[in-house]
Amino acid sequence: MFEYNNNLKSNIRWRGESGAGFTIIEVLIVIAIIMLFSIVLISNFPEFKLQSSLSRTAYKFGQDLRKVQADAFSSAPYVDANGVSQPIEGYGIYVGLDDPGQKKYIVYADKMPGNQRYDTEDYLVATVDIALDEPGIVIQNILNSVGNSVSINFTPPNPLTKISNSLGGETSRVDIIFAQENDISKNKTVSIHSSGLIEVK
């Protein structure tokens, strides 16, 4: 019995005595490092959350554009709220900066006879409200467009992409800039080209 107790005692010796295991100082240092990383992560969480929201908003807008583009090129019919299929000439997305900090964009179906841009005669497919999904993110600017609005319209059967403002002026490219509401220097850009190319940068 005495020999068994000696063996048990030898198995729980500190590293200073046997050269194996951890010292209390090493354990405390590891705990302190973990706590330091946790504090840094928690203090930066709101900024990280906003940056993630900004990325999600820009990529969602790009996905919505690609979906509208695919619907137009496949000549998908527009079915209204009564279940009636309506004749259309294409689909598009309208972005307007009617007031500072715009947080919405419109997905529409271009009613026949179509003018290849959004107007009040067109069918409203959806209104996307960024503030509901991603609070703190705004549409900061529209570049390469005369005026404060732009329609990105896709018309079948040939892949025709028309980018125009509310006055009917056309451009070959437009950049929609999304930004954090409290710091507009932190932003993401979605570029749309008349060739049909959509890029998120």
The single-letter DSSP state of residue 77 is: P
* Chain centroid, CA 106 distance in Å: 16
Q: Is residue 142 part of a domain?
A: yes
| % of the chain at pLDDT higher than 70 | 87
Higher-pLDDT residue of 80 and 56 is 56
What pLDDT digit, counting tens, does each position of 82-92 carry? Answer: 999 999 999 99
> Would the pLDDT of 152 be above 90?
yes
CATH of the domain at 133: 3.55.40.10
| pTM score | 0.78
CA distance 113 to 95: 22
Q: Is residue 4 part of a domain?
A: no
| 56 in Cβ contact with 128 (< 8 Å) | no
Q: Is residue 80 part of a domain?
A: yes
Q: Is residue 153 part of a domain?
A: yes
DSSP 78-140: EE-TTS-EE-EEEEEEEEE-SSTTB-EEEEEEEESSP-SS--TTSEEEEEEEHHHHSTTEEEE
CA distance 108 to 110: 6
Parent domain of 97: 43-200
* 3 class by beta-carbon count within 10 Å (0-12 exposed, 13-18 middle, 19+ buried): exposed
Count: domains in the chain = 1
> Would the pLDDT of 51 be above 50?
yes
Distances (CA, A) of 95 to 88, 140, 148, 172: 20, 11, 8, 16
